[in-house]
Amino acid sequence: MKKKRSVGDVIFDIIIYIVMILTLMICLLPFIYMLAVSLSDSNSIINNKVIFIPKGFNFEAYKKIFTYPDFFKAYGNTVFYTFFGTLISLTLTTLFAYPLSKVHLRGQSIIMKFVIFTMFFSGGLIPNYLLVSSIGLTGTRLAMLIPFAINQFNLIVLINFFKTIPEEIEDAALIDGLGYFGILYRIVLPLSKAGLATIGLYTAVFFWNDWFNGLIYLKTNQFPVMLILRNIVNGTAMLGDAAGSADKATIALSIKSAVIITSTLPIIILYPFLQKYFVKGMTVGSVKG
């Protein structure tokens, strides 16, 4: 069955494998570089000896950043926003997606239009900002959570997911006297773990990575870790003794790298285990409802 491969075929394969290996390297090397810098001593960094392998291996930068109260606090803030943001978002999105997955429900198509219109035209930065401040959310942690409670794309992914659940299962439960709240909680949700995991992950990543809303709405002690990182990189914030120290540029460098690695670590560690859910959303969302 196996035919002899032509020279052209072999060359083709070689080119493809080179491209793919390059892709792998381009995706991963920035992190490996950051990791190496964060684990190296400042002398080696100054002398440009560090590329992808740490020189003068040590954990000083990590030890330091966790003694800085600002960083520690910000990390806690981010965990808080991610946890509660995801919780609120999953609850409201589920409550909306379930009725909207019932195409025969009166008013469903009007409400869908009402939702979809907001994907194409929105208030824009200033009206949103003025709304959040006029209802008194500015300077409270709720400003990071409530305004982003429902993402329309995630909503549509979940609606499409709920549509795949056969209605016969619900009909039986209705006859048994279970209301729709009961059906949603006891029957639909247990069947939808994959769908919920998918949008839950998108939402969690959104809250974990958010910094801009922190910048415009929050007080310094409420800042998420990404905003602290942005301020360090900008030079508008210095952590602890990095300011004023003799070789502050390089200390700052290994510390910066340590902050980058630490703040991205949850995503990098969890990603390989959860990536199938990430991809699912992309494909479910694109399948026509």
Shortest Cβ distance from residue 69 to other proteins (Å)?
Answer: 21
190 makes contact with other proteins (CB under 8 A)? no
SS in 3 state form for 73-111?
Answer: HHHHHHHHHHHHHHHHHHHHHHHHHHHHCCCCCCCHHHH
Q: Is 72 helix (H, G, I), strand (E, B) or coil?
A: helix
Residue 39 backbone phi and psi in degrees, to 5 = -100, 5
Q: DSSP string covering 212-276, please? A: HHHHHH--GGG--HHHHHHHHHHTS---GGGTT-TTHHHHHHHHHHHHHHHHHHHHHHHHHHHHH
**Contact residue for other proteins among 173, 180, 240, 248 (CB under 8 A):** 180
2 makes contact with other proteins (CB under 8 A)? no
**Contact residue for other proteins among 14, 53, 95, 172 (CB under 8 A):** 95
185 makes contact with other proteins (CB under 8 A)? no
Number of residues forming the site for other proteins (CB under 8 A): 99
102 makes contact with other proteins (CB under 8 A)? yes
Name which of 44 and 64 has its Cβ closer to other proteins.
44
Whether residue 96 contacts residue 150, with contact meaning beta carbons closer than 8 Å, is answered with: yes
* Longest pairwise C-alpha distance within the chain: 77
56 makes contact with other proteins (CB under 8 A)? no
Residues between 4 and 43 with contacts to other proteins, criterion CB under 8 A: 6, 8-9, 12-13, 16-17, 19-20, 23-24, 26-28, 30-31, 33-34, 37
Residues between 265 and 284 with contacts to other proteins, criterion CB under 8 A: 267-268, 271-272, 275, 278-279, 282-283
66 makes contact with other proteins (CB under 8 A)? no
